Structure 1
């Protein structure tokens, strides 16, 4: 598989050069190392991972070894920036959405929850361990009966009992829960009705995991139902800066840009797959890439990718400048995921019947785009966030 950073990207400029317009040479070098490892060590495993619906340690371990949350030679502020994490996500997703989602469960969801929700002492004690994957964690917010309406509908409860809390409830779609040391569980305090967050050990008495079977999207990424029955958690394991839903919303606001970068990276991977295919395939006595209709589809794919890269780089630049808004991250996620749906569909279409085979890559992107379109806020929910900002009127019911 050719290095992903060096194939097609906006207006004939390779993605390595495009990233270099936003990042230091050291950061680009770290992305190049990631790209090389993905191509040599990860991509060859993806068809089998999809077929068996497993994510073996041999997929993530080479990425963990790169220490990409604190890469050598990269300034700490740049390494923690939305721009660098965005490009890192782009490169991961250009190979596979499950790989990007699994990595970001740690680097994005878990790390951000501790960084924004934890006390300074908790963050200082845990961040190095999180960055090195020595402590693994997941974000447990969604519930069996509440996804889009989780803000008002969250039913998991937390009751103070002396120096501890007792948590009861259920969570759903918790990716990577089986390999996590800690679950960040969001629960409603029965005393004041406000949402709180807790670091719950996966092995704590009363925690039970059930794998969700039968997925047709993000198959290597393992998702779980989590039952919480009288789970006791020490007060010292509560994240004290999560006092109400507005604090959870602040965490999600910081994370939604990651999903927009995933949607953008998937489009690049789909375009790569389509170009490899048309470069090798002949029909009607000539190369498939020489047909007008094929070239029109490729041009639309590149247009979608170019538009998406413009959106996400501008979003990350704004966030790094301190301008973090619900409506801008919602707009980015909404639009890039919508464009991704079309882009991956065109890649599968260009490959014809072969487009449903894992060997040609487009099938993975085609199926995974449906998950990305739905998680971290559906298209409709993100549209309502944008609409509220545009009109000043809330259309949420």
Structure 2
């Protein structure tokens, strides 16, 4: 991997070489052209932070993210766990603009300064055309700022591999995506972060807890793709709702398959009892209905029912604007909105757009819980 820098009028690739306490992070050009005497064999990336190299020999993994209008003080410790009751710190979320500044709350935090060192080093090492970067200009001093290379909304998620092993915790960026999206963080690609529309409310705590997607959800990469490549870039609330509902439909498809398998097994077991067979056949018919599967999702397959009050309130406010009956249960207040948007899009009243925005926001808040607690009940 390399960093592309503009030296005079030439674009030159530099690769990471080493760290020097006086010069900073040293990048070298291994293909010096003797006909271009002004091109430098070394350039330096510096930081005003008093970086601590104590983690120099430790292994880390890095993920490039982006968040709309992120501030340099939005630095968070990251916790995750296979069991939410036993959460462990595994890394930090660090905006690249905070690595070019010593004016934020963490500039003298000893633990942060160790992670900041590794964040800069790993960012330089793993810089590639797969992520959005600037063509930075190197001046005569040979010094370059990290903010010259990365977009101002770039965020580095730096994870300690040692901590993952010690705490027997696995980390998968795709499984972590719903929790990150909830807080406004999107996987950085070659697309400009300026094209992202996703926003989030300010996070006032010192840490963010990642609830990974359940092991029972096999196609979790599709969920990550929907959120990071489609939902985050969509400004129209109708399509935002559509993308989020696709995730719910994915879960309902899995519920249907699981219910059918269990009922077929039951049917084989009681095939000689015609009365029981009739009951099972009725249950098979019920499980086909989307409303039933929405109900099962909340009542039997996840543990988020107590967290739905805000979603319920906002859905019912929207339903009143749509001249529909409010609902008490999940399927009663969400399914009618789905039907109206999918089948009566043209009749949607403009006055209700704000209400739909609120519904989308609440869906984003509850989806990480749905995905992380999803499990198969005894049918």
TM-score using structure 2 length? 0.27
